[in-house]
Amino acid sequence: SLGPGRNSAGLAGVGQSVRNPKPRHLGGGLSVKDTMIGTGPPAPLGRTVKLLYEGTLKDGTVFDKKDKARSPFTFRLGLREVVAGMDKGVEGMKVGGHREIKIPPAMGYGNKAVGPIPPNSTLTFKVELIAIV
């Protein structure tokens, strides 16, 4: 248990839960669903973001996970350092925010198999933005 008012990175009082979160469709089959809204300015393009995540396939199989606040996943937003769906899906998040990003194959790995991810897979990421640097 994280305790009252704490998120998985242990940040007390950061973010506000969203009641009955609904997906927003961003085009190309990409959708995001905010379950907690963070605080501060939205993550801008070109800045480095640090996040925790869990990636799953359509059947619920976890294919990747970064869940330790001491060693978050880091990339520069909008510079194609990650799949297009992750770039677009994280854009605009605020620190402490939690979001579910559903990425269609065309914005993920397409018809290529990558590690445990089969070709033409829809990917779902549950992400928590822990820093913008």
More confident residue, 46 or 10: 46
Q: Provide the pLDDT for residue 94.
A: 95
Q: pLDDT, tens digit, for every residue of 31-59?
A: 999 999 999 889 999 999 999 999 999 99
Residue 53 near residue 3 (C-beta atoms within 8 A): no
pLDDT range class, residue 14, cuts 50, 70, 90: low
Residue 2 near residue 10 (C-beta atoms within 8 A): yes
pLDDT range class, residue 1, cuts 50, 70, 90: very low
pTM: 0.86
